[in-house]
Structure formats: C-alpha cells, structure tokens
Chain A
C-alpha cells in the first residue's frame, strides 16, 4: 500500500514534537544524532518523511485488476477503478467502483478516511439504486474474498499506527529501514506489522502482518514502482501471500492519473450513484 501524506497541521505538530524531543536530549543528539534517537522516534520520523514525500498529489485515478489464486491452478479476476482525493487536515476521500464480475458492475464504495476514529463509508447498490451508509467497523474482514483485508487497502494515515525502528536490511539489494508499526485501532486484525521502507525514496517495499495471536499471517510485497509528476511513486503490483492458508492475491495497478481535476463534489453520496 502506498504511504500517504500527512496534513500540514499534523505534520507541523509532529515536527514541533520532534524538535522538542531534540532540544531535551540536545547534547547527546549533537554528538550522534541518528543512533541516540530512540527507536519509536526514528520509526515515526521515517513514517512522517514517507508521508511528507507523498503530500500534494491532489487527486488520482487508477484501474485495478485483482487476481485471486485459490489453489495451484484456479485463478479468479476482479476489475475495479479507484478515485482518490487528498484532503487537507484529514484522511483522504476515495471511491472504489467495481466493473467485474458483472453481477457487481456499478457497485461502488465511498470512503471518508479519518486520521482518528472510524471512517465514514457508503455503499451504492445499482440494482436498487440505493445508497446505504455501512459500518466501517469491519477492519479485518476479507476484501471481496481476497487475501487483502479492508484495513490493508484503506488510506494509510500516519496516525493509525505507533512505530518502532528495528534495523536496516535490504530488500532485493535495495537498502531499507525496517520499522514495526502497531495499529492504534483495537478492532484491527493485526497485533503488529513489520514494514520495509527503502532508504532512497521512502517507498514501502514489503509488509509482514502478524495476526491477533502474534503469528505471522501474511506478507505483502510491492513491485514495479513508477514516479509520477517527478515526485509521487506508485507500485504496479502488490502481491499478498497468506502463509497460513497458502492462498495469494495480486493487485495490478494500471493507468495512474494525477491531478485529473476531481473536486469535493465528486466525492459524496449522490456522486456515488453517478460514477458507473
């Protein structure tokens, strides 16, 4: 999952906190700033840096194909489109529209992500032309029968986790920071996630998910990063492997577009019914 930007106010609040900490441990900091910062501070700083680098994209649209590997031979394909609007001071707004399978054609989900508390979510059912407010409390449920949970696909706000820097370790020869993050929401299906963020561009390269019993559940790897507008990196593939049931799901992203001119009026309940 791509790492998201933080709001300006949120960022400055975090920055001031960071400066405050830096002043308190001033003398030690000036000698060996990197090694003396605590593991939580380093973890948060890495998450903030990644978020900062991704801020200002305004809006994006992308086509998704989801390939579900059920057993060795069987594969099922789903197709969707996603529209995202960056929101100043809060989580992003997004719409996911389903194109295939055809029985879901035109079904759409509107999400207002919030940095703190439950997200707001509406579901559009085209057969009845009904827009229905739905519970967003289901964080850990599978998304469309895939190995991705809803929380894996929702907007990854910095505030949704607490962080601990663990170590440096490469992924495919790319030097990475390894940061553990613990979901703030008690309804999360995970006790912790271990993330690999590359040191050159602060892109998420790999995530290990640990279930409620603390066992390793899944690994997601992100590949095929492309840079847009000379700033924003997006992966072409997200591959989720479930270690416990052996199943896997691959998300393929195509035709990323930035700053397409989407506005707030494209992200509301009535827009949801017009998106088809």
Chain B
C-alpha cells in the first residue's frame, strides 16, 4: 500500500501539468478544436462467490460478496503525441480484509516522437502468447487476491523507452520500486495454511523493495511468425515461501530472490492454427532452472453453418524444478475449448482443465461472459480442484471449489 501513496506523490502533479500544457495549447491553437481530448470511462462490478464445500478453517465463510470500482481517466494533447492516463482501482470485500484493497493500475505520462515512445509512471505491461500460464510475463506483480488465474496485476512504477525501427520493437524498462504479491487473509478462502504473512516479507537484496530492476525486450514479426526475446534483472515477482515458527503461530513468509531471467516467446499463425511457445531460463542464488509452455489453439469457424466458432486448446507446461517447484505447473497438460458466438451479446465460454502428469491432480476451470446491453455484462466463473495430490501446492485449495457470478456496469 505504501507504494501506492509513493507513486501518487510523484505522479499526481503530472495531472496538473497535463491540464496546464493543454490549456496553453488551446490558447495557442484555438482553431483546431479537438487536438486535445480527454475522457472518463471505467466500470463498477459486484460479485459473489459460492463455495461448494465447508471451509477448512474456522474464520472462513461459505460465500463471499464483494464490489470493485475502476474509473479510467485518459487525456491526450499535442496532436495526440502526449498522453496522461490515471486508473485507480478499489475493491471492497465483505469477508476478507486482505482482499479489500486499493491500487493504482495506471498513472503515467507518455510522449511519442517519430520512432520513440517514452513513458514515466505506473503502468501494466503484458508479454507472452500462451493461455494456460503467462510464463514470460514479468514486469508486473500479480494481484493474487483478485483472482487465482493471475491475470490481475498491480501497477508497476517504471521509466520505459520504446524504439521502433525496421528491425523490430526495442523496449527498455527501469523499475525503481517493487510491489509485493497480495495474498488472502485469515478470513479469505483460497488461502494457504499456515497463512502467508505479507507484512513480513524477506528480501535477498539489502535494498529490499527499493532495489532497481531492469528489463529489455526485442520483439518483431516475420510473416506468420511473432517473436519476442527479453531479459529481466532484479527482484523475482514469484516469491518462495519460508516457514516461520518464531511467532505465536506458524506463518509463511514470502522470500523475494534476486534473479536474472531470459525469455523467448514465439507464435506461428498458420490459418486457423496458432502454435505457441514460451520459455524462460532463470538464474538465482538457490537453484537455476528452465521452464516452458508450448502448444496450439485451433479454431473451427462457423460450426455447421452457424455463427459459432469453436477453438481447441492444448498446452504442455514444464518446470525443471519438478515437484519442488514453486509453481503448480511443473509437468502438466492443459486442454480447453473456447466457444464464441459472434452475436451482439459477445457470448463467450472458455472451459478447460489442467492435469498433472505425475499425480493426475486436476484443476478444472470455466469462464463465461455475456453482454446484457449497452452497459451491463454478466460473467460466470467456476474453478474446481479434484483429486489433488498431497504434494501438489493446490492441495491447500482442495476444499475451495467455487462458482462466481459477476455483474459489471461499464461507463
């Protein structure tokens, strides 16, 4: 939370600068009315999770209720070459104090000039091609209390320079502040036992969260091929968990190592076939390792003369650390089917399962959404943990099967 206030202290003045610069531009060139534009958009959502089994721990509940609010301010001026974006996020959760949290997803100023783009502030960056996990995606910390699918990210303070030429896109990042992963609290479902103590993280670096991280990425496309190569040097976003028995009750403390991670991501698009590969090599002071995820997505368009598309997904996940891996996906097959009705409601369903090749522990997953009208979207999510082996990190969640219904209003 401290980092949020820190970054807002630095960047809130930028809002004022943006407004001021724009006003000056308006005076200078009143004739062109819409050189600058700004808008507020965003969403409010209400969701409830219903858990199928009685909770494993006494403070937990059978259902949860929570609301989220994410307004987005976006302004550009100077013929669209300068941009200011501000996206705060707030979640209130009736059950879990740790899930009740605020973040700044975006608060940056950006300037574009010919082949260069420079950005200062807080933002989210996505790298990668795979669906079952986002292995090479490393700039942002996961906002795990939001969703165990790890697709929600905490805003990352950064200085970023992009350079585009005929040889591809070159991106450099300087990351001056580290965000710790969020974890559910005592009253929350989908948590570990003992509880993860987020107030007492351990860092390998003496600079702790102030360690300055760097990342470089090159990406390009050649016909059907999209390729990205990246290197990250700094604090691992993925903590190891260390058991601490020193307190009144045992706890797990997140341990953030210093790492050097080199990654490759490739997608080959051949008609209705998308072939995907992500691979990383991670060097650290405990145990160097490599990991990869690879597979395909094949889409059948317009099934039986209808407007429905069916996509078939298959991916294999490997992690050299094996059963000791901090990851669940060390030798796992993911299969899925994506249903898309190209109707005005944008009805979509993604159903899939991840099976551990050793223990046959299975994680099943359904995500569906449908637009109700101009403003409202209804979503459904179901996650089931079946036959989970004792050695599997998912064992902690074996009683946390749930279905979530989510209603979102966009504005």
- Measuring CB to CB, which residues of chain A are less than 8 angstroms from any residue of chain B? 68, 70, 76-77, 100-105, 118, 120, 128-135, 137-138, 140-142, 144-146, 189, 265, 268-270, 274, 276
Contacts and interface: CB of A to CB of B under 8 A. Distances in A.
Contacts of A118: 271
A129 B126 contact: yes
B301 interface: yes
15 contacts: A76-B374, A102-B410, A120-B221, A120-B269, A128-B126, A134-B269, A135-B271, A135-B274, A137-B271, A142-B307, A265-B114, A268-B164, A269-B221, A270-B117, A274-B117
A103 B114 contact: no
B194 interface: no
Given A105-B410, A120-B221, 16 more contacts: A76-B374, A102-B374, A103-B408, A103-B410, A105-B41, A118-B271, A131-B126, A135-B271, A137-B272, A137-B301, A138-B272, A138-B302, A265-B114, A270-B164, A274-B83, A274-B110
Contact of A102 (B219, B299, B375): B375
A131 B410 CA distance: 22
B272 A135 contact: yes
Given A105-B410, A120-B221, A133 B274 contact: yes
Give 5 closest A-B pairs by Cβ, nearest first: A145-B344, A102-B410, A138-B301, A130-B126, A137-B271
B299 to A, nearest CB: 6
A275 to B, nearest CB: 9
Contacts, number: 100
Given A135-B269, A269-B169, A142 B410 contact: no
B214 interface: no
Interface string B113-137: 0110100000011101100000000
B126 A145 contact: no
Contacts of B349: none
B112 A101 contact: no
Contacts of A68: 344
A138 B309 contact: yes
Given A141-B302, A269-B169, A274-B117, A103 B371 contact: yes
Contacts of A276: 74
A145 B343 contact: yes
Given A133-B267, A274-B112, A140 B301 contact: yes
A105 B83 CA distance: 17
Given A133-B269, A135-B271, A274-B110, A145 B345 contact: yes
A146 B307 CA distance: 11
Contacts of A131: 126
A158 B380 CA distance: 45
A100 B346 CA distance: 13
B374 A144 contact: no
B411 interface: yes
B238 interface: no
Contacts of B244: none
A148 B223 CA distance: 27
B221 A145 contact: no
B173 to A, nearest CB: 13
B377 interface: yes
A101 B374 contact: yes
B226 A133 contact: yes
Interface string B372-391: 00110100000000000000
Contacts of B117: 270, 274
A77 B371 CA distance: 13
User: Taking each of B223, B226, B342, which has the highest tally of chain A beta carbons within 10 Å of its own beta carbon?
Assistant: B342
B200 interface: no
B219 A269 contact: yes
A145 B344 CA distance: 4
B151 interface: yes
Interface in B235-289: 267, 269, 271-274
B61 interface: no
A103 B346 CA distance: 10
B162 interface: yes
A128 B117 CA distance: 20
A121 B110 CA distance: 26
Nearest to B83: A274
Nearest to A270: B169
Contacts of B114: 265
Nearest to B119: A274
Nearest to B374: A101
Contacts of A268: 164, 169
Given A128-B151, A135-B299, A101 B410 contact: yes
Given A128-B151, A133-B226, A270 B162 contact: yes
A141 B344 CA distance: 13
A146 B112 CA distance: 35
Nearest to B151: A128
A168 to B, nearest CB: 36
B342 A265 contact: no
Contact of A129 (B83, B110, B125, B346): B125
Contact of A265 (B41, B164, B377): B164
Contact of B371 (A101, A132, A138): A101
A137 B300 CA distance: 10
A189 B305 CA distance: 10
A6 B129 CA distance: 35
Given A133-B226, A133-B274, A135-B274, A145 B342 contact: yes
Contacts of B267: 133
B49 to A, nearest CB: 20
Contacts of B226: 133
Interface centre among A131, A135, A144, A189 (most CB of B within 10 A): A135
Nearest to A101: B374
Contacts of A77: 374
A250 to B, nearest CB: 14
Contacts of B408: 103
